[in-house]
Amino acid sequence: MIKFLKLLVLSSLFSCGNSVPIFDAERSFDFLEKQCELGPRFPNSAEIQLCRDFIINELENCGAEIQQQKFSAIIDEKKINGVNIIAKFYPQMSRRILLGAHYDTRPFADKDPNPENHKTPIIGANDAASGVAVLLEIGKIISQKQPQQFGIDLVFFDLEDSGIYGDNETWCLGSTYFAENYFSEKPEKAIVVDMIGDENLEIFIESFSYHNSPNLVKEIWQKAKLLNFDEFKFKIKYRIYDDHFPLIKNGFNAVDIIDFDFSDWHTLADKPDKCSPKSLNAVGQTLLHIIYGE
């Protein structure tokens, strides 16, 4: 009986592996830790340039076609230079899926319980290393096995996290520039991931996503349910101005996957010990099932 059960488990894994690759959560978590080891990665810092180099190097190793989309913005009366990193896999494919995540971190821990820390930059393990970590692992996987239906664009947005609370247009500057300067045919699906590494992950449906792209929301959440990822909650809870919103505004079929109940948001406690490979896996494996159409 024990032998039979082992064979059954192995058979299930093998059949899944034949159609949809297995997301390597430990390797993804390693990508998260490597970003954090660079230090706070806020705009115009040496550390964010190191992070760009790290991301680009990983993507080049995967054989992606890479573009650095440079732009600038005025933040607090200072000119800030930003770079969106765009990686195309299988550019010959006309049907495309875009996956996005921001890679910059908050320049100040203004939600930290200690007021003395409010001007200190954060490490940003969950916000934003977690989203980047999932995308880098997906890039490695799709470089090794081409999806049959879709080419994939991975976009790493800059200047997402330097905004002023209550003033939406000061946030998501990289994705705004990207969306307003996107002149190709829109991808069939655009999915942004943000703050998805929290060890107590709960991903509710974001309101702008649902009202703009209800079918894509249902596809993602139903896929997660079939995979037994109870981290995904089929209930609308948030209305969030995140990197998906400029995409929606400019005609993309776009959805945000985010856990906005992270208690260490914009604090110095946002470090790798607050994150989990299990959470990265729930998101990463769900996205792979969207990509590979299973």
What does the pLDDT look like over 19-68, one tens digit per residue? 999 999 999 999 999 999 999 999 999 999 999 999 999 999 999 999 99
User: Three-class SS of residue 32?
Assistant: helix
Query: Which among 288, 123, 121, 109 is positioned nearest to 193, based on CA atoms?
Result: 288
Look up tokens 């009366």; give the residue.
77
Question: Are 135 and 151 a contacting pair, CB within 8 Å?
Answer: no
- Residue 157's pLDDT is what? 98
- Residue 272's pLDDT is what? 98
- Residue 196's pLDDT is what? 98
Q: Determine the average pLDDT of the residues in 61-79.
A: 94
Which class would CATH give 24-291? Answer: alpha beta
Check residue 127 and report its DSSP letter.
I
Six-digit token string for 133: 């970590």
- Residue 280's pLDDT is what? 98
Q: Determine the average pLDDT of the residues in 201-207.
A: 98
Q: Which residues share a beta bridge with 180?
A: none
Longest Cα–Cα distance of the chain, Å, equals 70
Residue 15 reports pLDDT greater than 70: no
- Residue 18's pLDDT is what? 53
Residue 269 reports pLDDT greater than 60: yes
Q: Tell me how crowded residue 166 is: count the other CB atoms within 10 A of its CB.
A: 6
Q: Which residues share a beta bridge with 190?
A: 98, 254
What does the pLDDT look like over 215-266, one tens digit per residue? 999 999 999 999 999 999 999 999 999 999 999 999 999 999 999 999 999 9
Q: What is the dihedral angle through the alpha carbons of 31, 32, 37, 39, rounded to the nearest 10 degrees? A: 130
What is the Cα–Cα distance from 138 to 211, expressed in whole angstroms?
27
Identify which has the larger pLDDT, 74 or 202. Answer: 202
Percent of the chain scored above 90 by pLDDT? Answer: 91
Q: Categorize the per-residue pLDDT at 2 as very low, low, confident or very high, splitting at 50, 70 and 90.
A: very low
Supply the pTM of this predicted model.
Answer: 0.93
What is the Cα–Cα distance from 103 to 86, expressed in whole angstroms?
12
Q: Categorize the per-residue pLDDT at 75 as very low, low, confident or very high, splitting at 50, 70 and 90.
A: confident
- Residue 14's pLDDT is what? 36
Query: Which among 173, 142, 145, 143 is positioned nearest to 157, based on CA atoms?
Result: 173
Q: Determine the average pLDDT of the residues in 264-281.
A: 98
- Residue 294's pLDDT is what? 65
What does the pLDDT look like over 84-118, one tens digit per residue? 999 999 999 999 999 999 999 999 999 999 999 99
Six-digit token string for 96: 């495309």
Buried b / exposed e over 14-26, threshold 16 CB at 10 Å, is: eeeeeebbebbbe
Q: Which residues share a beta bridge with 238?
A: 206
Residue 4 reports pLDDT greater than 70: no
Instruction: For residue 71, give Cα distances in angstroms to 18, 41, 177, 247.
Output: 42, 17, 7, 17
Look up tokens 């607090």; give the residue.
76
What is the Cα–Cα distance from 155 to 84, expressed in whole angstroms?
7
What is the Cα–Cα distance from 122 to 269, expressed in whole angstroms?
8
- Residue 16's pLDDT is what? 43
